[in-house]
């Protein structure tokens, strides 16, 4: 049994979203894999964790929950952290001769897959670090950091972990995270007189308000459709119990420079390009699946008609907090942010998706940009976050949990994009080769995460193998789609 902290220490309430992730049908975990450039010195990592992460209030507390999900009775209670209980060193039996083999890659992949369906011990803080000290094709060793989703969202957890790292070139400096991805105006228009400027400003704000109001209304109604209607049944449709089965987590590296070249040519953002690549890759994957299953003349015709009628929706995770810098998040390890930024402060946007075969590969980017522009001029993501808080206050946590699970089960996949460090960093003295995040426990067959690190973008998919038996083929389709887009952009003379 855990030892409760000293008497009189304040107990923190579990937030509504935190209690949502503790419901019986929604036990979610965030898993972040680190590829390391050398074998792991467990003693150094242990000391580093004790001095940093283990001191954060969420990482040295256990949830004490009311069975009815009561907000007033569910608390985070401080307890003693026994760091040895949280560092797991499995015996992988993979011929540890210091050389990377295809089998060692598979061993690591299988172990990560097994973690996706392994529950945590709720009698101690809900996090652990798995040390996989065997070489793979990309790294000398792998560390997997697993955290229960109730502790915080991927943004806060990634930021906290990165606050524990330092630049490889300067051990005293925190990593550099690029700022917002904003489009720049190419010219400055002439300044009119004051009266014209005032009139123009009033009309512009009125127009912006009307656009925001309309887009928000459309988004709210669109999200509402997922409560009542399912997506078109396709090869990506899930069966009951998918959230309880192990997920296969695979990843692929693509060039961030290629993405930036497309971004520059199209006048859009990195996220717009990734959205286009996702649309293109999934279209290629689904077309191939249906072409293999239907080969006759009439069957091919029916197949094309069916593909054109497919209507899918995806959930795009959005951070609804003002994005803090890594330097500010370093205070989280001392618990000095007052709880105003830490936790699960995420909303969701719903994106429409159709299977298409665009002759111009860049049309997928144009479509992604058009959708993203509308979502940016909407409060739909904030609405989803606030609605959970409101429904919890009015009816208890079971109502928003039921509705949220219903939306996830009626949609096809989830997307999330994050920005990582721009230079090489060390994690407690261990050089990082790659960082790959994912989430498990969602009632969907496909979850896609993208994270940049240095000049590489990692695309990570977590799939239910009963539905998607060839996840590497899906990643290959993403890579091929990006390649075609890069080849299509005009070359500057």
Residues annotated as part of the active site: 149
Contact in structure between 427 and 395 (CB atoms under 8 Å): no
* Two structure tokens written together for 322: 């003002």
Residue-by-residue DSSP string for 51-106: HTGGGSGGGGEEEE--TT--TTT-EEEEB---GGGTEE-----S--SS---HHHHH
Which one, of 416, 411, 224, lies nearest residue 318 by Cα? 416
* Two structure tokens written together for 82: 């026994």
SS3 state at 338: coil
Which one, of 330, 329, 373, 328, lies nearest residue 349 by Cα? 373
Q: Which long-range contacts link 199-203 to residues 24+ away (Cβ below 8 Å)?
A: none
Cα 22–chain centre separation: 19
With residue 142 as reference, give the H or E element that holds it: strand 141-148
Contact in structure between 448 and 460 (CB atoms under 8 Å): yes
Rounded Cα distance between 367 and 418, Å, is 21
* Two structure tokens written together for 185: 């105006």
């Amino acid at each position: 049994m855990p030892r409760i902290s000293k008497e009189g220490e304040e107990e923190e309430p579990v937030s509504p979203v935190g209690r949502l992730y503790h419901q019986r049908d929604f036990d979610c975990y965030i898993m972040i894999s680190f590829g390391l450039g050398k074998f792991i010195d467990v003693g150094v990592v242990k000391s580093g964790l004790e001095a940093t992460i283990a001191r954060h209030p969420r990482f040295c507390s256990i949830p004490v929950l009311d069975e009815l999900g009561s907000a007033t009775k569910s608390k985070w209670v401080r307890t003693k952290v026994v760091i040895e209980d949280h560092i797991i060193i499995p015996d992988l039996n993979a011929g540890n001769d210091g050389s990377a083999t295809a089998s060692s890659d598979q061993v690591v992949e299988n172990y990560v897959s097994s973690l996706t369906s392994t529950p945590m011990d709720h009698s101690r803080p809900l996090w652990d670090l798995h040390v996989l000290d065997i070489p793979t094709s990309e790294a000398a060793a792998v560390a997997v950091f697993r955290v229960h989703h109730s502790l915080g969202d991927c943004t806060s957890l990634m930021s906290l972990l990165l606050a524990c790292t330092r630049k490889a070139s300067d051990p005293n400096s925190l990593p550099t995270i690029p700022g917002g991805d904003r489009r720049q105006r190419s010219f400055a228009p002439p300044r009119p007189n004051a009266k014209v400027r005032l009139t123009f400003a009033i009309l512009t704000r009125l127009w912006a308000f009307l656009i925001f109001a309309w887009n928000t209304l459309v988004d709210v109604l669109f999200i509402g459709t997922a409560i009542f209607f399912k997506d078109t049944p396709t090869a990506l449709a899930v069966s009951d119990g998918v959230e309880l089965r192990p997920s296969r987590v695979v990843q692929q590296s693509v060039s961030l420079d290629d993405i930036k070249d497309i971004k520059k040519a199209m006048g859009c953002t990195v996220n717009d390009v990734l959205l286009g690549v996702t649309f293109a890759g999934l279209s290629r994957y689904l077309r191939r699946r249906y072409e293999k299953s239907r080969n006759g003349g009439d069957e091919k015709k029916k197949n094309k008609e069916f593909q054109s009628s497919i209507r899918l929706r995806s959930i795009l995770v959005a951070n609804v907090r003002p994005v803090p810098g890594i330097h500010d998040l370093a205070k989280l390890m001392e618990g000095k942010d007052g709880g105003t930024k830490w936790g699960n402060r995420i909303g969701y946007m719903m994106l429409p998706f159709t299977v298409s075969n665009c002759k111009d590969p860049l049309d997928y980017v144009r479509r992604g940009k058009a959708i993203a522009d509308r979502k940016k001029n909407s409060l739909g993501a904030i609405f989803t976050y606030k609605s959970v808080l409101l429904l919890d206050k009015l009816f208890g946590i079971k109502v928003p949990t039921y509705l949220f699970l219903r939306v996830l089960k009626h949609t096809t996949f989830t997307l999330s994009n994050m920005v990582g460090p721009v230079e090489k960093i060390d994690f407690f003295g261990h050089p990082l080769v790659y960082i790959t995040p994912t989430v498990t426990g969602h009632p969907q067959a496909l979850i896609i995460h993208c994270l940049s690190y240095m000049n590489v973008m990692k695309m990570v998919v977590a799939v239910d193998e009963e539905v998607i038996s060839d996840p590497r083929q899906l990643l290959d389709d993403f890579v091929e789609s990006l390649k075609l887009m890069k080849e299509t952009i005009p070359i500057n003379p």
